[in-house]
A and B are shown apart, each in its own frame.
Chain A
Amino acid sequence: MSDWQDLWVDTEIDPPDIDIGALRRKSEDFEKVIQRRNWIEVGAGIFVMVAFGGFAVFTPDRVEGLGNGLVALAALFVTFAIVIRGSLGPVQADPTAQTAAYLDAHRAELRHQIRLLRWVPLWYLAPFIPGVLTIAFARYGLGAMSALYIGVFAVFFGGLAWVNRRGAQKLQEQLDGLQNGREGEDS
């Protein structure tokens, strides 16, 4: 095997040109991006809660107010679910762990994210449906306008579900890649 080793290490490598200041900034930027993403997720939920909560209180029509209240409650539920179940953002396993443990953690996080993304229609979108339907029927009754209103939301929700499903598929491909050669860790 020494032939292989000689061949492998006998490579000319240019000395690395690393700007530690730039690396530091990149590291800090990365942390800021994570923090910002978490704030956006929670902030968006709070915004919807406050806005629709306000509509619920001040809308003269009781039924429409109920619909707004249901949307605010849905936002509360979804924000709570995000905080409890974890963010939908990229996977972060501890890179300083032993590889076997790192891979286990990485796979577990991927599976968790895949589950979350696949079930977005149920836990993220479905809670808003009662509120949206109530508002539509309260405002437009049974007719073309309410169908249009509901249709717009259906397209928007469908788009969100599709994007998340695509995200889940990409993560599944990553997971499949990590599963290949798994026998090496188990033996």
Chain B
Amino acid sequence: MDILSPSSNMASDLSKADSLEVRTGLFRQITGQYAAGLRRTCRGYERDEARQDELMQEIWLALWTSLPTFEGRSSLKTWVYRVAHNKAVSHVSREVRIPETTPVEIDTLAQHLQDPETQLDRQRARKILAELIRRLPPVDRQLILMHLEGFSGKEIAEVIGLSPSNVTTRLSRIRNTLGRRENP
């Protein structure tokens, strides 16, 4: 049985009864399937590692607490990311932002993307990309993070509550913003 399918028995069972066993099973599926993506999402919102951990814990708690309300009307994946992004937006808004003192090496990142083997180690490139993403306004940040995680425009629209065409337009604009140095 595909437990992650919206029409799965487990999802509908969960909506009918808050069974601890079913809830635990579904939660384990979520952690197994989406932990890496959610961790990356935290990196897209918080620079500091301790704050990322704190956000991750908040997301797990919110997912656990909200699971009984999951009715399978959307896919579990979009539901999980909706909760995660909502918690993340709240989390970053609670902290006073410290302006970035190190200049973002966007030119270096662009060079790396053109020639990944020679220019820059990937870990450093990822850090720069994450920093660029964190500088975006909340909705743009969510759009690009979901796009990078492989969500379709329709799925992103469903999570955020925008029209699919609006998502496409905005993604195109963000691509231009982030990638304008990529192809000078």
How extensive is the interface on chain A, given as a class?
35 or more
The distance in angstroms between the C-alpha atoms of A24 and B24, with both chains bound, is 10
B158: chain A residues at CB < 8 Å are 98
The distance in angstroms between the C-alpha atoms of A148 and B27, with both chains bound, is 60
Judged by a CB distance under 8 angstroms, whether A155 is at the interface is: no
| A111 CB to nearest B CB, Å | 13
Output the residue of B37, B143, B161 with the most chain A CB within 10 A: B161
B82–A99 CB distance below 8 A: yes
A177–B93 CB distance below 8 A: yes
Q: In the complex, how many residues of chain B place their beta carbon closer than 8 angstroms to a beta carbon of chain A?
A: 59
Task: Take A100-B160, A174-B94, A185-B162 as given contacts and tell me if A8 and B139 are in contact as well, using a CB distance cutoff of 8 Å.
Answer: no
Partner of A180, one of B60, B138, B170: B138
Main secondary structure of the interface of B (DSSP, over half): helix
Judged by a CB distance under 8 angstroms, whether B22 is at the interface is: no
Output the nearest chain B residue to A91 by Cβ-Cβ distance: B90
Output the residue of A4, A20, A93, A100 with the most chain B CB within 10 A: A4
The distance in angstroms between the C-alpha atoms of A30 and B125, with both chains bound, is 39
| B147 CB to nearest A CB, Å | 7
As a 0/1 sequence over residues 90 to 134 of chain A, the CB contacts with chain B under 8 angstroms (1 = contact) are 000101111111110010000000000000000000000000000
B89–A5 CB distance below 8 A: no
Task: Take A7-B125, A181-B139 as given contacts and tell me if A106 and B147 are in contact as well, using a CB distance cutoff of 8 Å.
Answer: no
Main secondary structure of the interface of A (DSSP, over half): helix
Judged by a CB distance under 8 angstroms, whether A13 is at the interface is: yes
B148–A9 CB distance below 8 A: yes
| B38 CB to nearest A CB, Å | 9
A8–B126 CB distance below 8 A: yes
The distance in angstroms between the C-alpha atoms of A20 and B86, with both chains bound, is 22
B138: chain A residues at CB < 8 Å are 103, 178, 180-181, 184
Task: Take A23-B64, A95-B83, A99-B159 as given contacts and tell me if A8 and B137 are in contact as well, using a CB distance cutoff of 8 Å.
Answer: no
The distance in angstroms between the C-alpha atoms of A16 and B85, with both chains bound, is 19
A26–B36 CB distance below 8 A: no
B178: chain A residues at CB < 8 Å are 4
B139–A98 CB distance below 8 A: no
Partner of B61, one of A26, A178, A182: A26
Task: Take A27-B64, A96-B82 as given contacts and tell me if A106 and B90 are in contact as well, using a CB distance cutoff of 8 Å.
Answer: yes
Judged by a CB distance under 8 angstroms, whether A18 is at the interface is: yes
Partner of A30, one of B61, B83, B122: B61
The distance in angstroms between the C-alpha atoms of A183 and B139, with both chains bound, is 9
The distance in angstroms between the C-alpha atoms of A150 and B146, with both chains bound, is 59
Interface members, chain B 105-131 (any A CB < 8 Å) = 113, 116, 122, 125-126, 129
| A160 CB to nearest B CB, Å | 23
26 contacts between A and B (CB under 8 A): A1-B179, A4-B178, A5-B147, A5-B150, A7-B113, A7-B122, A9-B150, A13-B36, A13-B40, A18-B31, A27-B65, A93-B86, A96-B69, A96-B70, A98-B161, A99-B86, A99-B160, A102-B86, A106-B89, A173-B96, A177-B93, A178-B138, A181-B137, A184-B137, A184-B138, A187-B166
